[in-house]
Structure 1
Amino acid sequence: MLQLILSCAVFLILHLWVSGTPLRDRLVARLGEGPYLGLFSLASVVVLVWMLMAYGAARSEGPHAVWWGPSPLTLHIQLVLMLVAFLLAVPGLLTRNPGSVGQTGALQDPDPVRGVLRITRHPFLWGVAIWSAGHLLVNGDLISLILFGTMGVLAVGGAASIDAKRRRTHGEGWAAFEARSSFLPFGAILQGRQALRPAEFGLQALIALAIYLAALLAHPLIAGVPALG
């Protein structure tokens, strides 16, 4: 349990305190953009593996406090949430996005807000947040709260951190991108600043659906429990 708490704390510190603050700017100035990104990526992978191993070890330690569990209703809700999460996260990875690492040049595109970015400028991170919320809905034990809660906080906090970082480094270009997009999913669409155009990411959505179905079938191998009850 202690290892899980420590690994989750380090993961949050690494992404919210190091990556999303002026400390990152100072590290980049000293190390250079490429070496910094390489070291940061390596550290992220190492800590993520640590988190997953610590979660598995904590599960095997014995019974833990449980405040709620799955029900037929929440299991069905979770399946819907997981589909939404995949429909955001997968197109988010496949879409050129100024908020992604190494893609800030997209700010110079004639129309940088395309496809799933019309829904939110942080589709992948919101996908992770919804994925975390869905797992918390049916896993009310202490170790799940720690792991999935960490991932949810990281996703939402990371999205806000990216906005703050890009405002510092790209000024008016990022401000124009923000004006045509939204932090919250569907925010710009509801405010009339954007229009949903499914045709722009239809193929990506089909890929997301295929991965979602594969994840459902492979869930016993991935997590040790069936996703379909």
Structure 2
Amino acid sequence: MASLLLSTSPPHLHHLSSPRHRVPTLPSLPPLKPFKRTNFSPVLSHPKLATHVVYHRTIAKSSSIGSRETEDPIPDESPLGEDSAAFQLSAQKLSSWVYFTVILGSVLLALNVLWIDPSTGFGTAFVDSISNISGSPEVTMLLLMAIFATVHSGLASLRDPSEKLIGKRAFRVLFAGISLPLAMSTIVYFINHRYDGTQLWQIQTVPGVHELVWLSSFVSFFFLYPSTFNLLEVAAVDEPKMHLWETGIMRITRHPQMVGQVIWCLAHTLWIGNTVAISASVGLILHHLFGVWNGDRRLAIRYGKSFEVIKKRTSVIPFAAILDGRQELPKDYYKEFLRLPYVAITILTLGAYFAHPLMQSSSYNLHW
């Protein structure tokens, strides 16, 4: 290296190359060994940082749109997504939850006045108009599902341009304000008409069936999409974001909400055993299968190469990426579920089971 520097020295230093001023030759250095990239992720392995992951390589901010390319390629080991179901009580603001409570109460009041109450709302007229199309509960169930799915997925697909036009919080209010009444009408109609139609099998008295259906329904709620845990974002108290999740349930399946919905549908169809239950399950499953394609498409547009890397090491089919070696579970993987959001899900799921009689009586009172 020293000889190279001398050979390319400026003209005013050329006299140093004469015998009188010759610089002693430095010993040659051994060749440098190539740097070995190691699979090291201190953030995920550190227990104190496990619930608040900060990733060391960011491709793009979540607010920008478009394909992301960098000169430095991303190795498959680099963590790129967010830590799902992370919750720190110390980071919560009391004022934010006060706003959430006020917003939730306001939304429920508006929903009751504008949609549920037959004397003031449009819900009864909407359901009656759909049910009068054919008079068949199976067809009505499918139509209600199709309307909800079209509006819900359509608005989700328009999220990026809509947020640019009216803002993130305003779009979330619009999205929830339209989706929530349609979802409620579909659920109430299913509860009121679940035993209509043609009975295909009846196995409710078979030993073990009730336990199987109950356990399957319970497990299905643990496949909730991690974004549903962000209640402050759902209510637009915090600025809503499109998250790129990578840990927790995402290691098992990249589309947990779809998997949970399929489990729930199969369990309830087995229990009810008629054509109305089948039509509801078919509509729900088709909607969520479309959501698999549409969700991947939207994440690819938003996160580009970051999403493509995560897509390679996750799978839609549960456990497929783990079994073929693309996803390696940490030794303390169970800790990614020992978090407050999953405790809340457990309590709410048990509460919903014991509240079934109340839910049914409330639905019957609407006569939808």
Alignment TM-score, normalising by the size of structure 2: 0.49
Contact 1:93–1:124 (Cα < 8 Å) also in 2: no
- Cα distance in 2 for residues equivalent to 1:175 and 1:90: 19
Give the C-alpha shift of residue 140 in structure 1.
Answer: 1.9
Greater fraction of residues in helix: 1
Structure (1 or 2) with the larger CA radius of gyration: 2
- Cα distance in 1 for residues equivalent to 2:230 and 2:163: 29
Shift in CA distance, 55/188, structure 1 to aligned 2, threshold 3 Å: same
**What is aligned with 2:337?**
201
- Cα distance in 2 for residues equivalent to 1:114 and 1:95: 15
- Cα distance in 1 for residues equivalent to 2:241 and 2:313: 18
User: Cα deviations across residues 115-166 of structure 1 (Å, max 9, x unaligned)?
Assistant: 2221122223322221122111212222222223322322232133201222
Q: Which runs of 5+ in 2 are unaligned?
A: 1-136, 232-238, 362-368
Please identify, of 39-48 and 64-73, the stretch whose mean Cα deviation from structure 2 is larger.
64-73
Give the C-alpha shift of residue 114 in structure 1.
Answer: 1.5
Give the C-alpha shift of residue 102 in structure 1.
Answer: 3.7
User: Cα deviations across residues 33-89 of structure 1 (Å, max 9, x unaligned)?
Assistant: 534443332221121122133335545xx8521112333343232122112212222
- Cα distance in 2 for residues equivalent to 1:56 and 1:201: 31
Give the C-alpha shift of residue 199 in structure 1.
Answer: 1.1
The correspondence for 2:149, drawn from 8, 12, 29, is: 12
**What is aligned with 2:117?**
none
**What is aligned with 2:299?**
166
Alignment TM-score, normalising by the size of structure 1: 0.74
Shift in CA distance, 92/29, structure 1 to aligned 2, threshold 3 Å: closer
- Cα distance in 2 for residues equivalent to 1:206 and 1:36: 30
Look up the SS of the partner of 1:72 in the other structure.
coil
- Cα distance in 2 for residues equivalent to 1:147 and 1:58: 11
Q: Which runs of 5+ in 1 are unaligned?
A: 225-229
**What is aligned with 2:356?**
219
Tell me how many residue pairs correspond in the alignment: 210
The correspondence for 2:311, drawn from 178, 186, 195, is: 178
Structure 2: which amino acid aligns with 1:9? A
Contact 2:163–2:171 (Cα < 8 Å) also in 1: no
- Cα distance in 1 for residues equivalent to 2:289 and 2:360: 24
**What is aligned with 2:162?**
28
- Map 1:41-80 to 2 at 5 A: 41-58=176-193, 63-69=196-202, 70=204, 71-80=206-215
Please identify, of 142-151 and 30-39, the stretch whose mean Cα deviation from structure 2 is larger.
30-39
Contact 1:27–1:36 (Cα < 8 Å) also in 2: no
Look up the SS of the partner of 1:192 in the other structure.
coil
**What is aligned with 1:227?**
none
